[in-house]
Structure 1
C-alpha cells in the first residue's frame, strides 16, 4: 500500500477507523444471522420498519473488506489492487440499483442476486438511498490514496456527501418522515433500513479516519492549531446535537400528542439555543486563549530580557547579521573586543571587523552561505583573524547559528578571542618540546647510567617505591646467575643470614632503605644449580630529592669471598704468631729471669757483685717485654679488625677511671693526674677490660709526651646521649696535618725522639671505641698541648655483643659464620 506524500500518520486514527469498521461488520453480520435463523429483530429494528436485506449486507461487507485491506499496514501491491477491485464491485452493484430506480428496468444480474419475498412482503432489493450511499463510499475507497486537489481530498468529499445522506435518513426516522412507506408501488424501495444506515455511517467514519491528509476536513479536525481546537470542540455538537434534539422532541411529541409543526418550531428554537450555547462556549474558549496568549507574551518578554542580559554578560562577542551582511545586534563584549562603539557597529557591514585583505573573500563566502541551505546546515567552528579599530589583529574562533523564517534568514555569530589559547598552545608546544628534549636527555642519561653501572665491579640495584621493576647492572645479573630481567623477588628468595635463616621482606636491605635507613650487612647469596653460596657485602641507602622525599633505594652487592679468604689466612697468621713467635719469647723471658736469679745467688755465695751482668740481663728482659708488647698489639689489632665479642656490663665510669688511674700509673707519676667529674653520668654499658686498654693508652701517651711535672687532666661529662672522656696534657702539641692521621694504622709522629712503638696504640683504641658505638678524636695545636677524647653511648645494653666490622650509622652487621646449608 503506497502512502502519498500529503498523507500523515495521526496516533489513534487507525484504531478509530478499525473500531468503526468492526461496528459496521457486526451490524451486517447480525442481520445475515437474523435472515438465516429467521429472527426479524436482527435485520428489522422496529415494527413496520424496512429490513436490511441480504443484498445490502453483501454490499456492506464488500465495502468493509475493501477498507480493511487498506487499513492493514505494510501491505503488498496485490493487496491494494484487491482492495480497489472489491470497492469497484460494490460501486458497480450500487450503480445497477440506481440504474433500475432511474430507468425502471430490472437487470438480470439483480434478479439472480436474490429477490427474496419474505412474509412481510418487503422487497429483497436495496433501497435507493442505500444504493446511492454504497456508490459514494465505494468511490471514496477507490480514491482513498488520491492527493488533494484545490485544497480538497476527493475521498473526503464523497464520504461527507454520504454522511449528509445518512443524516437525512436518520432525521427521517427520528421525525417519522417516509419511514412507514418504504418503497413506491412495484418499484425500488426509497427508505434505507435503520441497521443499514448505522452500518454505512460507521463505514463512512472509518473511511474518514483511514487516511488523514495535510489538507481537508480531517486535516482541520486533527490540526494542532486554533482552528483544529475549535473544530474538535464544536464538531460533536454540530453533528449529533440536532439528532439528539430531534429524538427528544419526537419522543415528546409521541408521548404528549403535540402536532408536528409545533415540534418543528421547538426544534428550531432548540437549535438556536444550541447555536447560542456554542457561541458562548467559543467566546469563553477565546477568552482563555487570549489570557494564555498574554501570559505567553509576558513570559516571552521576560525570557527576552533574560536572554538579552545573558548575551550582554557573555564572555564572547556575539553579532547578528542579515543576508546582506549588515550588523543587526552586537553585545557589550563585541565593543570591548574590537574597540568599536555599539552605535557605530549597528548597520555596518560585518566585514568592518576583518582586515582589508580578507573582506572581499569574506563577502563571497557570506553570499554562498546565505544562498545554500546545505552550508547553513553544516554547523561547525571556524577560525579567522579579526581586526580591531586600532588596527591590531585578533585571532578568532567563530561559531555560526542561522535562523530561518520563510524567505528571511539571519545569522548569529559567536566570536571568541583565542589569543590566550594560542599563546597557551604555543607555550604547551614549547613545554612539550622541552619535555621531549628532557625525556630524550633522561633516556640518554639512563643509557649512560646503565653503561656506567654495567662497568661497575659490584652489583647495583635501584628500587623505586611501588611495584616498578628495578634497575640492575650486569654485575648483579652475573652475581645472581640471571642473564635476563631481574626483579626484587630474586633478592627476597636468595638472600640468607649466615646461619641459613631467611630474611623477612620488611628487613630486606632495599625495604629498610625505602623507609629512610642506611644499611650495611654481610649476608649469603644462594647460587643456582647447587653451587656454594657466595658471601656478599650489602650496602643500601635511600636516594632523596633536594626536599628530602625518598625517590628510591640504591643497593650494592659486592662479592667478598676473596676478603673472607684473606681474613681466614689472617687468622692462620695470627695463630702462627701467637704460637710460633710469642712462645719462644716467653721461653727467653723465663730463662733470662732464671739466669738473673742464679747470678744473685752466686753473687751472695761467692761474695761477688755481678752488677754489670744484671744490668745487661735487665736490658735484654726489657727488650723481650717490648717485643711481647708489640706481638700483643699485632694480635689485638687482628682480632679487633676481624670482629671480636665484647663482654659488656653496666659500669660507673667515674669509679672505673679512678680505679684505672690507681692501678696502672706509677706512684711517682700519679700526683700529676687530676680527675674531673662535673656531674654524675650514670651507668654505661662497656667492656671494662677493653675500655681500660683505651684509657691506659691515652694516659701513658699524655705522661710520655708532656714535660715531667706538668699536670694531666682526665675529665668525664655527659653530652646528650653519650658519655665523653677526655685527657688533656700540656705537651708540645701535634701539627694539624699529623693530628688528622693519628688514628691510622702504623702511623707515628716522628718529631718525638726516644719514643719507640709500632704506631698501633691509637689505632687499637679507635677500633675498641667504635666497637662500643662511640667516637674518638684529638684536638691539638703545636705549643698548646693536646686533648684526646672518646665517647660511648649512655645506658645499659645486652652483654656479649659482637664487634661490628664497620662503623656506619644505623648499620645492620652480621657476625661471620660458615655458609648456610
Structure 2
C-alpha cells in the first residue's frame, strides 16, 4: 500500500500542469516534477539539493515568499502573486511573471514546503491587450459587481463623467444615474443581474446619465455579463449621443419648418385657387345678370324690328325703285346684328352657368364622331386631326350640343395657335382620381370615376403671365376685332355646369393641352337622335295668359300672339296673374310666364294657378335658367322653357308644341 501510494503521488506530481517544487527546512530543493524542468530549463539533478533562491532573481531573493525566513515564519497555505505577479528566473537568466501557491507538509520529524509555480506570461499578455482595448475604446466602459459596486472603468469613463478612476472604483453604479431615474426605477440593477444577458438600451429613446458636476447627457448603453473568478461582472458600454440627439432635433425642426412652408405654399395655392374660382363665379353671376336684362331688351328690339321689317318689305315690293328697298336692306343688317348680340348673350350665360341645358346619358365617343367632320373643316387642310377613342369609355351626363360646342371652341382656339400648321389630338379614356385634390384642376376634383377628354395642339402655347385669366369673359390675347374673349369662358362654363373639371398644360412654344374630367354616371347611355320636326302651330281662339314684368316685352309678346289669332290675357307679376286667372270666367289654355319676377317666381305662380285650373299647360320664358326652375342646373324633360331673346317664329313654334301635346 505504501508503494502504491508513493507511485500515485509520483504520478500526480508528474501530471500536474504547474511546476511543483518541494523545499526542505534548510531551504534546499528536495524534489521537483517534470514541469519544473520544462519551466526553469534545469535538469532534475541540477536542481536537487540547490537552494530555492536559484529560481529567484537576485534582486528579489530577500523578499521572495519562498525564502526560508519568509514562509517558515508563518507556514500556512497561501496563494501569492495573483494581484501583482512574482518573478521566476530560468537557468539562462531569463525572468518570467509567476503565481505561486505554498503549502507545508510534515513528514515525520521533517517539515517540507511545497511550491506550485505557474508561468502567467500568456495571461498577462492577454490582460495587457484587454487593457489596451479597454483604454482605447471610444465609449465609456464601466464594470460592476453583483452588489452594484464599480470594479472596472476605462479612460473614456473618466473623460465622460468627470471622475478620476480611484473616485469611481468601489462606488455604486447608481452614482452615474440621475436621481429621478433612480427613484422611478429602484430595482433596475437587480432586474438586470437576475437576467444578465447582453442587451442594447436607449437606441430608440436615449437614456440619461449624470456627470460628477451634476450635468446630464443623453446616452445609449450596451450591457453584457462577464464570468470572472470573482463572480459575474456586468459591463456597460456608455455612449454620449448628445450630438446625434441635437442633430435629430435639428432635423425634426427642419422637417417641421419644411412642412410648415409646404403647408403655407399649399394654403397659398388653395387660397389662390379659391380666389380664382370666386372671381370666375362672380364674373359668371355678373354675366348672367347682364345677359338676363340684355335678353329682355334684345327680345323687344328684334321683334319690333321684325314688325317694321315686314311693313318696309311690303312697301319695297310694291315700289322696288323707292327708298323702301334700301330701308329693308338696312333693317336686315339690324336684325343680323341683333342675332349676333343674341349669340354673345348665350355665351355669357354659358360661362355663368345660366344657360338652359338638357343633359343626357352620353357616350362621349359618339358625340366626338358626330362632330369630327365639322372639326376637320373648321381646322383647315394645314392642320391634322387625330382622334384616339377608348372603346370601353364609361357614360357621362351632359348636353350633347354643349359638348360639341366645347370641342368646336377648343378646335378654333388650336387653329389660331397653329397658323403654320400642326396637329390637334383628341383623346378619351377612363380616369380615376384617388387623391382629394389635384393642384392643376380648376377647381380640384374629388376622388371618384371620371371620363377624361384631352384636346392637345402643337401650337404656340399660352404665356405663363396670362394663364390664370384665360377663362375670364372678354379676356383675349388676339388682335382687336379678331376675338370676343368668350370662347374659353364658354368652355369653362359648360364643363363646370356639367359637374366637370378642366386642367391646362401648356408652355410657350410647346403647345397646349386642355384636359377635362366629366363625372361617370351609372345610367344607360341614350341613343343620339336627330331633333324631330316641330309640330304644327296652334291656331284658333286658344287663350294664353302672358305674365312678364318687363312691360315692353310683355306688349311685344301679346302683339305676336294676337296677330296669330290667340286670345291674350296679360299680367305684370304673379299676384296680378292670379287675380286675372280668378276673374276670367272662361277656359285658359296656356300659362306663358317669365321666370324671374318680383313678389313671386314663375314656378310658384304656375303651382298656384294649376292648383285651381287643373289641366292648364305651362311654358316658361327666361333670359337665363335658374336652379329652382330647372333643378340642379338641368331642365326636366317635361319642362318647356322658351329662351330669351326669342323671335316670332320661335315663340309660335314652342307654343304650338305645348298646345298640340296629346
TM-score of the two chains, using structure 2 as the length reference: 0.36
When you count strand as a share of all residues, which structure comes out higher? 2
Q: By percentage of residues, which structure has more helix?
A: 1
